[in-house]
C-alpha cells in the first residue's frame, strides 16, 4: 500500500490551480475548496463575501515517491503572481490571495526556502507577498467547482484567457 502526502495551496481561482496540478504525474487527486478562515462549512457565496477569512484553495494528494513536494512548490510559483497583494489577475479580494498551507515542519521549511529562493532570484521587482501558514481545516467546495476545467472546457478557457492568467509568464 502506498502512502500519500497532502499539500494545500491558495493561488487565486481554484479552477486554474486545480487544472495546473491535476496534470502532474504522481498527483492522485486535486480538490477545490476553502481554508484559512474562521467560518465552519463555508459556501462559495460566504467566501466571496470576503468576510470569512477563507482562501479559495486546492488540496493535492500526491505520491511522494513519484513527485516531490518541492516540485509541487515550483508548479505553484509558476502559476501565480506572488507579488499581487490584492488577489490574482482579474480576481481581487482576500479570498484570491496566495498562500502555501504547510501540513508539517518539513513542508514549512521547504516552503520558506522556496519563497526565499524566488525572492532572491531577481525575477520580480516587487516583494513576494505569498504567505506561508499552518494548514487548518479544509472545506471542499461545491460539486460544480470540482474538475471545472474538464466539465466546462469552453467556459474555463474563456475565463482563464479573460482573467489574464493564460498569458502570464514569469
| 13 has catalytic annotation | yes
**90, 161 in Cβ contact below 8 A?**
no
Q: C-alpha grid cell for residue 166? A: 493564460
- β-pairing, 91-92 with 87-88? antiparallel
- Distance from C-alpha of 2 to C-alpha of 107, rounded to nearest angstrom: 20
DSSP assignment of 8-23, as one string? EEEESSHHHHHHHHHT
The CA-based angle 65-100-112, given to 5 degrees, is 80
Catalytic one among 13, 16, 48, 167?
13
**Active site members:** 13
Amino acid at each position: 500500500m502506498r502512502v500519500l502526502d497532502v499539500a494545500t495551496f491558495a493561488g487565486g481561482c481554484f479552477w486554474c490551480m486545480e487544472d495546473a496540478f491535476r496534470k502532474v504525474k504522481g498527483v492522485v487527486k486535486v480538490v477545490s475548496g476553502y481554508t484559512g478562515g474562521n467560518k465552519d462549512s463555508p459556501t462559495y457565496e460566504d467566501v466571496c463575501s470576503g468576510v470569512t477569512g477563507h482562501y479559495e484553495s486546492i488540496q493535492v494528494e500526491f505520491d511522494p515517491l513519484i513527485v516531490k513536494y518541492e516540485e509541487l512548490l515550483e508548479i505553484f510559483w509558476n502559476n501565480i503572481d506572488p507579488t499581487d497583494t490584492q488577489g490574482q489577475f482579474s480576481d481581487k479580494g482576500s479570498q484570491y490571495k496566495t498562500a502555501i498551507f504547510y501540513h508539517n515542519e518539513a513542508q514549512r521549511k521547504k516552503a520558506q526556502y522556496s519563497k526565499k529562493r524566488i525572492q532572491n532570484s531577481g525575477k520580480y521587482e516587487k516583494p513576494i507577498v505569498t504567505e506561508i501558514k499552518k494548514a487548518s481545516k479544509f472545506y471542499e467546495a461545491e460539486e460544480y467547482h470540482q474538475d471545472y476545467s474538464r466539465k466546462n472546457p469552453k467556459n474555463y478557457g474563456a475565463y482563464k484567457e479573460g482573467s489574464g492568467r493564460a498569458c502570464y509568464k514569469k
